[in-house]
Amino acid sequence: MTSSGREDRNSGEPARACAGGLPLSRRALLRAIGGLGALGAAALSSGCSGAHVADEAEPVATVVEGSANPVELARSMQVDMVGDVGRLKTFDMHCDTVDVLSMSSWEPYLSTPALSRQGDLMSNNGDVSLDRMGQIAHVQGYAIWLPDAVDDPLGFYRQARDWFKSQMQTYSDSVVQVKDAQDIPDVLAQDKSCAFLTVESAAAVKDDLNVVDEMADDGVKCVGLTWNGQNALAGGAKSDVGISDLGRRAIERFEDRKVALDGAHLCDRSFWELMKLRRRPVMVSHALSRSVCDVPRNMTDDMFRAVVDDGGIVGVSCCTEFITKRTTGTDVTFDELMAHYERFLDLGGEKCLCLGGDFDGARLPSWLSSVDALPSFYNQVAARFGAELADDIFFQNAYAFMVRNELV
């Protein structure tokens, strides 16, 4: 499936277009998207922008200095495909592995659902471990989940962050924390996995917006304002409240630091308020279709269309209780999960869908219960939708979103 501005994969050249089809001068484009510096200039010179970058002397045609809309710029930016690295490229936006492994031995948090996970990022009895990534060139978003009932969410965040950082040091030969998405191709080419931090509930912010800067400095790439309940910022899926004044200020600060806002756990009211407040594309790290399975944690068709129109992404969850309400039988089927993909694709989600498996955070289908099942899952999806679309879902859409969010 192709669309205007999409890369011609036969030629390997990006299709270049901008609003109105008019060229922009390189300097004007850099000014318009806030000054990309050397990193952005390199991206533009390699063809990462969907705009036709003209010679320096050409006049500005469609962008007035200082007036560019980041959402419009992100939607028009074409990001180059990552080349062959000898393994299947996979990019998953959400897992709870850091929490379930790091919290299991913390006395203050033993009451939280740490399940029975034991081990570390290299080897454990959970769903995601480095020693099971041998067949894939994998990028994993590791969430720091802040439970609603935790009395000291900032302390919880820092404990999990420190554990994650220590794992990155211990296993630096196998995994690298990426703070810049454009480093991902180089890391994968070194036969290493990529890891990035996310936050599931920004309850740690409370009334101190300096925590936003701390998270950004730690390399957090996306953040959800809530988990399932209400906090000082917004309302989660099990509430019916909107975004507070503090939440509005936190959104502005997160976006200033180019931390993407994640609408996965927001209630409907807070989600739509976020869509009105946001200045940058919004993403949803792990969710499914409410039209297919009518539960509050899933997205309505209108929500999904809004994220598509925004230039955002939606990570498709594999949480069985949100895939189907069927209570008979012992396992969710591949077709039942594909019903959600097909609904989203019917709504124009070809460039929006990505993986948001919820590994180590939910009950999963037996045939997709760990990261080493991804190659088999890819083969099934490619047989269903074709390899080109499968490549987008399994890697390119998420990678392109992360790059665009850093450049605009």
Q: What is the DSSP string of 300-323?
A: PHHHHHHHHHHT--EEEP--HHHH
pLDDT at 66 over 50: no
More confident residue, 118 or 67: 118
Question: pLDDT band for position 393 (50/70/90)?
Answer: very high
Mean pLDDT of the chain: 84
pLDDT at 161 over 50: yes
Query: What number is the average pLDDT over the span 355-373?
Result: 96
Task: Please tell me the predicted confidence (pLDDT) of residue 210.
Answer: 98
**3-class secondary-structure state, position 236:** strand
pTM: 0.82
More confident residue, 289 or 328: 289
Neighbours of 294 (CB within 10 A): 10
Task: Please tell me the predicted confidence (pLDDT) of residue 63.
Answer: 29
For the chain, domains (ranges, CATH) are 19-76 (no CATH), 88-407 (3.20.20.140)
Query: What number is the average pLDDT over the span 238-246?
Result: 97
Contacts of 32 (CB under 8 A, 6+ apart): 24, 63, 64, 65, 66, 67, 68, 73
pLDDT at 368 over 80: yes
Task: Please tell me the predicted confidence (pLDDT) of residue 104.
Answer: 66
Query: What number is the average pLDDT over the span 235-246?
Result: 97
Query: What number is the average pLDDT over the span 359-384?
Result: 96
Task: Please tell me the predicted confidence (pLDDT) of residue 68.
Answer: 64
Question: pLDDT band for position 61 (50/70/90)?
Answer: very low
More confident residue, 104 or 247: 247
Task: Please tell me the predicted confidence (pLDDT) of residue 45.
Answer: 35
| Range of lowest pLDDT (43-57, 244-258, 295-309, 339-353) | 43-57
Backbone angles phi, psi at 316, to 5 degrees: -80, 120
For 195-208, what is each residue's pLDDT tens digit? 999 999 999 999 99
Contact 295, 322 (CB under 8 A): yes
For 87-135, what is each residue's pLDDT tens digit? 999 999 999 999 989 886 665 555 455 557 789 999 999 999 999 999 9
Task: Please tell me the predicted confidence (pLDDT) of residue 298.
Answer: 98
pLDDT at 363 over 80: yes
Q: For residue 121, what are the CA distances in angstroms to 87, 142, 171, 198?
A: 21, 11, 8, 16
Task: Please tell me the predicted confidence (pLDDT) of residue 256.
Answer: 97
pLDDT at 402 over 80: yes
Contact 62, 327 (CB under 8 A): no
